[in-house]
């Protein structure tokens, strides 16, 4: 089983021709609300796209915003360990999605900021702990150290980007970042491969958007190109990647296989609106992977390896 500890938000999403610049007002289009939050998105992806038994530790307010989040997670089969801090509102996110599927997000953490070390449930029966950085950093560190002591594999998606102390990094088995987060943590020196090598974690995965993703595991490197789809909304694609990746690793698949599964799930998530609402089912991911490719994968892989500076 996988335990996800992290954030849960209600997303308020509006479509607009472009994302407003500072001081600019843009007349938007359709408005919808979706269950979201990086932690909840990843838990749902682990269960739905990865087909893995998944539990989630989360904090919610005693308000109407909590209900759709709980319904979405339970509908995917996620077992909830819910903390309800007195007087705290459910977290919210305000998202603008432009005509190219790109987004800008502002998060109001609410109850997410109230998760504490004492809230961690018993860890017996779990193989992996997956976390992000939308809950307090001291809490993330405490959870990672407790999971490491209990023999779990600790996976951290270091997003949103912030400085990470050596105590936390020493307890992380797998670090998942995007290129900006990777360079910030590694001092922004050298190629992607150089940055991967510079980080102290046993394994690091970096997502590179439309190029694909690259991983270092020990002294070995892996590269996986992206899958080409018609992009509608990129919200939640990175979270879908993380949840699917951990599910595959929890099933003891190789890193290469896990990267391919996660990349396919993330690509499919870009073809639908919303975060949790866009996460594909495991059967859809398998069907997608069975389709013939319409691009030169060997050429794309070579370009990715050259871009990343892989040996």
The crossing angle, in degrees rounded to 10, of helices 66-75 and 38-48 is 20
Q: Which residues pair with 59 in a beta bridge?
A: 83
> To which residue do tokens 């990349």 refer?
263
CA distance 304 to 39: 29
| C-alpha radius of gyration, the chain, whole number | 18
Phi, psi (deg, nearest 5) at residue 308? -80, -10
Q: Please count the other Cβ atoms lying within 10 Å of the Cβ belonging to residue 5.
A: 25
Contact 52, 285 (CB under 8 A): no
CA 32/CA 188 separation, integer angstroms: 38
118/105 Cα distance (integer angstroms): 30
**Active site members:** 239
| Residue where the block lists tokens 């979405």 | 72
């Amino acid at each position: 089983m996988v335990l996800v500890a992290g954030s849960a938000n209600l997303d308020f999403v509006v479509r607009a021709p472009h994302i407003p610049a500072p001081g600019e007002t843009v007349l938007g289009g359709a408005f919808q609300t979706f269950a979201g939050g990086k932690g909840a998105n990843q838990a749902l992806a682990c269960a739905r796209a990865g087909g893995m038994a998944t539990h989630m530790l989360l904090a919610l307010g005693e308000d109407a915003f909590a209900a759709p989040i709980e319904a979405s997670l339970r509908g995917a089969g996620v077992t909830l360990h819910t903390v309800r801090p007195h007087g705290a509102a459910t977290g919210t996110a305000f998202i603008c999605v432009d005509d190219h599927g790109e987004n800008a997000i502002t998060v109001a953490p609410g109850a997410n900021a109230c998760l504490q070390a004492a809230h961690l449930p018993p860890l017996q029966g779990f193989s992996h702990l997956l976390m992000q950085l939308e809950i307090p950093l001291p809490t993330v560190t405490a959870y990672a150290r407790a999971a490491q002591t209990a023999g779990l594999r600790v996976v951290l998606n270091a997003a949103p980007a912030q400085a990470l102390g050596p105590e936390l990094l020493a307890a992380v088995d797998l670090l998942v970042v995007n290129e900006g987060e990777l360079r910030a943590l590694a001092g922004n020196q050298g190629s992607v491969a150089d940055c991967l090598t510079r980080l102290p974690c046993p394994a690091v995965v970096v997502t590179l958007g439309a190029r694909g993703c690259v991983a270092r595991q020990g002294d070995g490197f892996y590269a996986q190109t992206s899958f080409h789809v018609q992009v509608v909304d990129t919200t939640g694609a990175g979270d879908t990647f993380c949840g699917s990746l951990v599910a595959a690793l929890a099933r003891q698949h190789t890193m290469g296989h896990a990267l391919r599964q996660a990349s396919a799930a993330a690509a499919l998530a870009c073809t639908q609106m919303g975060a949790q609402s866009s996460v594909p089912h495991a059967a859809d991911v398998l069907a997608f992977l069975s389709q013939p490719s319409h691009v030169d994968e060997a050429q794309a892989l070579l370009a990715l390896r050259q871009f990343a500076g892989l040996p």
